[in-house]
Structure 1
Amino acid sequence: MEGDGITEGERPKVAEVDSSDGYEGDKVLRKIKKFDSFDIEAARLKSDHGYSSNQNLPWMVTLKLAIQSIGVVYGDLGTSPLYVMPGVFPDGIKHEEDVLGVLSLIFYSIVIIGLIKYVFVVLSANDNGDGGTFALYSLMCRYSKVSLIPSQQAEDKEVSSYRLEVPSHRLQWAYAMKSFLENSKAAKYLLLFVTMLGTSMVIGDGILTPCISVLSAVGGIREAAESLGDDQIMWISVVILILLFQVQRFGTRKVGYSFAPILSIWFFSIALIGIYNFVKHDSGVIKAINPLYIVRYFMRNKLEAWISLGGVFLCLTGSEALFADVGHFNILSIRLSSCLLVFPSIILAYFGQAAYLRKHTGDAATAFYSSIPKPVYWPMFVMAVMASIIASQSLISATFTIVKQSVALGCFPRVKVVHTSKDHEGQIYVPEVNTLLMLACVGVTLGFKTTLQLGNAYGIAVVLVFNITSIFLVIVMVMIWKTNILLIILYVLTIGFVEFMFLSSVLYKFSQGGYVPLVFAVVMVSIMYLWNYGYRKKYAYELENKVSRENLITITSNTNVHRVPGVALFYTDLVHGISPIFTQYVANVSALHSVIVFVSIKYLPISKVPLEERFVFRQVEPEELSIYQCVVRYGYRDVKTEQQSFEKVLIDRLKDFIQSDAPPAADEQGEASDCGIANVNEERVQREIGLVDEEIKIGGIVYLMGESEVIASSGSSLAKRFVMNYSYNWLKRCVRQQQEVFNIPRKRLLKVGITYEV
């Protein structure tokens, strides 16, 4: 691993050390310290609690989670019967048998992709209980060194939730995949690009879902008020969307319990209506279970059948939420709610619509509302609007979460993240993103007006995410699961082929609205890549120009540099060594606080880091300088505490480190020294801890931070100068500054400016 200073053969020595072994354990630690004191501290932090992904819970708890998941996960999937049939038959039904062919396509799409792929395969590829595109990427980053930022450390593997097992040389496929990803720079860039693309498409889904769901639901009012035109439906939808985004700032309280009853009633209702239509109109549609009807459908319609796959695919929208939201529940709860309620209800709804359309072929454009029995029309209309709003809410919340993960992993500009609940850490609100989503949703609704072309755009956004998930899943199968190669080939030839066919169909409608998510993805990926590129270049510069130990001693020994009371927390991105900003600071201020702690906030490629393993310290030699380095490790779903609480925890952990870092005195035989020398060590510990307490009491805690400008070095290409001098620096000026992200009080903040030529 880059920069850790330890060979592969030496690392296990650190992992095997247990600080509870008394002097023997400490003696081994002192011997290893010459390599990297960060590793020793990590060995001390190693805990026995392990990671619990909430997969082994009591049955009653699992059932409660299954009920909650209905209100959070399935809103998008549950509202798809509103717009699938109109999307498949935009020009009406030309042949009565086409209904059976389409129904068979819908049935097997749900079974093969919705159930087999997502419920039973993809859910198993979670990252310590979390799902989604970034979760798969972080999983691959742990099992192979594919991260483009050289901030990896050996002690990261000691975090209890890391759960790393390097593929064995005996498993040739796994080892070949790992070696290829680690040794190919192009593969690393491609993985990052595909991750960004998948993330952008999910965010695009968060824009399109509210539009198509609300438009489809509100459009049902035409059954009772035929005089309403597309413009009136559009403006009613716009008002609902604006209100929906305005209430986001208040947060969501126990979303699952609030929405689960509504969506449960919705699922039971569409299932009962489906059964009613099945019995009343044409129970013969059960024949659609025979896949031969798919073959006949394609033979009869040829190109038109292939084009209609874009509409069929809409029945799967929301399946990705099964994986993305698994971290809020657990695998078993998602599988229970999917298999016992959600998928059976949706399948019954489609069978009921098909039975109705067999007798009323002219109602394809309004299949859902036309098939509803007249006495329950208005209750179902109200339920449809409510279900659409819930579907929109789940995707908006998911977008906030995805943006937070992207920011944490250095792939998105810094934005303000507001935690709206003290009890539920996953409930967040991002003001800037909420405003952009609202403007985008209103713009898309005004631009498309109806769900037909909007469905074309929606399909491309979703199917690309499906294909990206499958690509990452194959890598996980080969490198991490070490799955039999024949099963991997079977997956690619079946599920992979089906998804490729869906992708080819929706791309055919590129000019009919399909360009919208791709244009949006280009914009989002450009922003994400520009930010990540600038961040990487800045980090690489700091790593290359970090302050050496000799320079540090020279700086601190300079008689012109005065030590002033107080504890200084010097924030820096650099994990390995001391940032060159420190040299710039001393050159301008000529004063150093009595105790200095270089603080690096680092995000590991895991979802959560236990609090007791979050802080890793080392003391910069010589010890008389009272200078320490601290790496604060977070997972991409961890919640930062308030600054005052963070200060207290950091200082407490610093004192613990000083206490535990005191070496036991030893004689020539390696045994504990006499009490006199031990007392000297104890006095030194008390003196250092006392110094920290005294300096905080006298001078308080002061924050130091660099205000860096990154520009392209002379001789750089025109493209690089444009990216670094204009694009990246413009993004930096537009987004939240570091002190705002970390909630650092302005009265205690001192910033020093520096220019990096990269």
Structure 2
Amino acid sequence: KTTENISHAYGIAVIGDMMITTTLVSLIMLVIWKKSLWRVALFFFGFGFIEIVYFSSQLTKFTRGGYLPTLLALFLTMVMGIWHYVHKERYMFELKNKISNTYLNEVANNPDVRRVPGIGLMYSELVQGIPPIFSHLIGSIPSIHSIVVFVSIKAIPVSSVASEERFLFRQVEPREYRVFRCVVRHGYNDVLGDPVEFESQLIQSLKAYVQEHNYSTTEVEVSENATEQVTVVESSDKREAHQSSDKIIQNQSTSPSFNSIRSLGGNVANSPIHGVEEELKFIDRALEKGVVYMLAEAEVLAHPNSSIFNKIVVNYVYSFFRKNFRQGQNSMAIPRKRLLKVGMTYEI
């Protein structure tokens, strides 16, 4: 009500901000900058002692206006705590109900599930496993894109991630179903940027993964086949060597040598290049049909057997926050015209 009370509130707000800054900078020095422990302790206790002395002097003015920023800080802490609690329980629900590879094999062998031309990017917080929203989508609409990529965006405690290390791909079996899992890593200074650029980088990384993975896998198979051929030839030569010296000479002149088998293996190793080219062309054809972004529009509700407090927090408070906070597609730079929201109810 008076300028004196405003100054008291301002003093506690400033010293509170200084204490939070000192704590967070100390954490960054220890975790991200990898400074030695004694330097972090010297910084924390040095500045912390000064701030504690100043904060203790401001506590005498708590009842004369200093309570206002304290109550505001408690309210914001409550909001962040509720948001974190519900999101943690939602993640645990997805983790407990994730889809196994057996279900994916059943979908791959199900003739009623149609493959639609195009690339489908399904966003999920799960790094491993397939989210339950996928089975809900298949059950509602028995169709899926010709290429499916489960995208998970994760922030790591580094300043920036190189573009060639940002996308980590892994293929989900069976391989012929063309289902991939992608973890997009970014640092605290990185920005996802334009959706067109992000989509282009993701597709290029997918092509690089397919080319490298298919070539290395086929190369291993070729080397194993060549080794088996060498073993068969050597064993046959040994058996024939016990018969007569004439047959030994004849076998040495007619049977393939080790060098010829290696050259045969080299010719076989060139065959996967054709397979890789076909896979890359398949990705290009799917890209021409379009890319669809699928995002789970999960309605989080409290379990019927949960406590009254949990029902109030989840069903009313969190629901109000979720309707008034920024939506996920805005922070992930997803184009609205190609966004498909899949609704599902989570009971936590």
Answer whether TM exceeds 0.5 for this pair. Answer: yes
TM-score by length of 2: 0.80
TM-fit CA distance, 1:673: 7.8
Match of 2:279 among 688, 693, 697: 688
Matches within 5 A, 1:40-59: none
**Percentage identity across paired residues of the two chains:** 39
Match of 2:321 among 731, 736, 740: 731
Q: For the residues of structure 2 that align with 1:540 and 1:694, how far apart are their CA atoms?
A: 37
Q: For the residues of structure 2 that align with 1:490 and 1:601, how far apart are their CA atoms?
A: 33
Q: For the residues of structure 2 that align with 1:534 and 1:687, how far apart are their CA atoms?
A: 45
TM-score by length of 1: 0.38
Partner of 1:748: 338
Please say if residues 477 and 483 of structure 1, whose CA atoms lie closer than 8 Å, have aligned partners that are also in contact. Answer: no
Q: Relative to 1, partners in 2 of residues 1:565 and 1:476: Cα closer, same or farther, differing over 3 Å?
A: closer
SS in 2 for 1:618: strand
Please say if residues 477 and 488 of structure 1, whose CA atoms lie closer than 8 Å, have aligned partners that are also in contact. Answer: no
The aligned amino acid for 1:685 is V
Partner of 1:525: 77
Partner of 1:59: none
The aligned amino acid for 2:106 is T
Q: For the residues of structure 2 that align with 1:694 and 1:673, how far apart are their CA atoms?
A: 33
Q: For the residues of structure 2 that align with 1:565 and 1:750, how far apart are their CA atoms?
A: 16
Q: Deviations over 1:390-419 (max 9, x none)?
A: xxxxxxxxxxxxxxxxxxxxxxxxxxxxxx
Partner of 1:722: 312
Matches within 5 A, 1:302-341: none
Partner of 2:104: 552
TM-fit CA distance, 1:623: 0.8
Q: 1 or 2, which has the higher strand percentage?
A: 2
Please say if residues 8 and 65 of structure 2, whose CA atoms lie closer than 8 Å, have aligned partners that are also in contact. Answer: yes
Please say if residues 620 and 627 of structure 1, whose CA atoms lie closer than 8 Å, have aligned partners that are also in contact. Answer: yes
How many residue pairs were aligned? 307
Q: For the residues of structure 2 that align with 1:705 and 1:673, how far apart are their CA atoms?
A: 49
Please say if residues 617 and 628 of structure 1, whose CA atoms lie closer than 8 Å, have aligned partners that are also in contact. Answer: yes
Partner of 1:609: 161
Matches within 5 A, 1:149-160: none
Match of 2:5 among 453, 457, 462: 453
Q: Relative to 1, partners in 2 of residues 1:645 and 1:674: Cα closer, same or farther, differing over 3 Å?
A: same
SS in 1 for 2:51: helix
Q: Relative to 1, partners in 2 of residues 1:474 and 1:614: Cα closer, same or farther, differing over 3 Å?
A: closer
Please say if residues 192 and 333 of structure 2, whose CA atoms lie closer than 8 Å, have aligned partners that are also in contact. Answer: no
Question: Higher mean Cα deviation, 731-740 or 643-652?
Answer: 731-740
Q: Deviations over 1:703-723 (max 9, x none)?
A: 222110111223212222111
Q: For the residues of structure 2 that align with 1:499 and 1:521, how far apart are their CA atoms?
A: 18
2:261 pairs with 1:674: no
Please say if residues 23 and 44 of structure 2, whose CA atoms lie closer than 8 Å, have aligned partners that are also in contact. Answer: no
Q: Deviations over 1:214-257 (max 9, x none)?
A: xxxxxxxxxxxxxxxxxxxxxxxxxxxxxxxxxxxxxxxxxxxx
Please say if residues 151 and 183 of structure 2, whose CA atoms lie closer than 8 Å, have aligned partners that are also in contact. Answer: yes
Q: For the residues of structure 2 that align with 1:495 and 1:700, how far apart are their CA atoms?
A: 55
The aligned amino acid for 1:703 is Y
Matches within 5 A, 1:93-132: none
Q: Deviations over 1:497-531 (max 9, x none)?
A: 33222111111111222112112211211221211
Answer 1 or 2: higher relative contact order, Cα 8 Å, separation at least 6: 1
2:114 pairs with 1:562: yes
Over the residues paired in the alignment, what is the CA RMSD in angstroms?
2.7
Please say if residues 295 and 340 of structure 2, whose CA atoms lie closer than 8 Å, have aligned partners that are also in contact. Answer: yes
SS in 2 for 1:575: coil
Match of 1:702 among 272, 288, 292: 292
Matches within 5 A, 1:231-630: 448=2, 450=3, 452-471=4-23, 481-484=35-38, 488=41, 492=45, 495-630=47-182
Q: For the residues of structure 1 that align with 2:324 and 2:29, how far apart are their CA atoms?
A: 41
Partner of 1:632: 184
Q: For the residues of structure 2 that align with 1:728 and 1:672, how far apart are their CA atoms?
A: 66
Q: Relative to 1, partners in 2 of residues 1:689 and 1:528: Cα closer, same or farther, differing over 3 Å?
A: same
Q: For the residues of structure 2 that align with 1:470 and 1:638, how far apart are their CA atoms?
A: 24
- Give ranges in structure 2 of 5+ residues lacking alignment: 229-261
Q: Relative to 1, partners in 2 of residues 1:607 and 1:524: Cα closer, same or farther, differing over 3 Å?
A: farther
Q: Relative to 1, partners in 2 of residues 1:597 and 1:541: Cα closer, same or farther, differing over 3 Å?
A: same
Q: Relative to 1, partners in 2 of residues 1:673 and 1:624: Cα closer, same or farther, differing over 3 Å?
A: farther
Q: Relative to 1, partners in 2 of residues 1:677 and 1:482: Cα closer, same or farther, differing over 3 Å?
A: same
- Give ranges in structure 1 of 5+ residues lacking alignment: 1-446
SS in 2 for 1:560: coil
Please say if residues 26 and 43 of structure 2, whose CA atoms lie closer than 8 Å, have aligned partners that are also in contact. Answer: no
